[in-house]
Amino acid sequence: DVLDPERLIQCPYNKHHQIRACRFPYHLVKCRKSYPEVAKELATCPFNARHLVPRADLSDHIIKCSDKGFFEQDTVNQSSGFQREQMNATSTWQAPPCDEDWET
């Protein structure tokens, strides 16, 4: 199960590290410091910071990333919500009463 916090994930810095999903973000920070040469060769996915792929494969990963759908859907929801707000917004401004008579 992808959402199981106890499932094991392989570390991108050291293939022998098997980390529980709930600890994975913390492990990435620690391993990035421990393996700076490997870290230079990896790029972070713009849709999920847990996805670290070789720099040469990043564009291919972006096309296929399973989390891209969540990002795109969220963007659509936000923009349609903004458009709805714009359509529903009506001006409540009223000119203040004027005591001046410009004709006189």
3-state secondary structure of 54: strand
Per-residue confidence (pLDDT) for residue 27, from 0 to 100:
96
Distance from C-alpha of 79 to C-alpha of 86, rounded to nearest angstrom: 11
pLDDT digits (tens, 9 = 90+) for 2-57: 789 999 999 999 999 999 999 999 999 999 999 999 999 999 999 999 999 999 99
pTM of the model: 0.63
Per-residue confidence (pLDDT) for residue 82, from 0 to 100:
59
**How many angstroms from the chain centroid is the CA of residue 44?**
12
Q: Which residues contact 31 (CB under 8 A, 6 or more apart)?
A: 11, 12, 13, 14, 17
pLDDT of residue 92 exceeding 90: no
Per-residue confidence (pLDDT) for residue 75, from 0 to 100:
61
Q: Which residue has the higher pLDDT, 66 or 9?
A: 9
3-state secondary structure of 39: helix
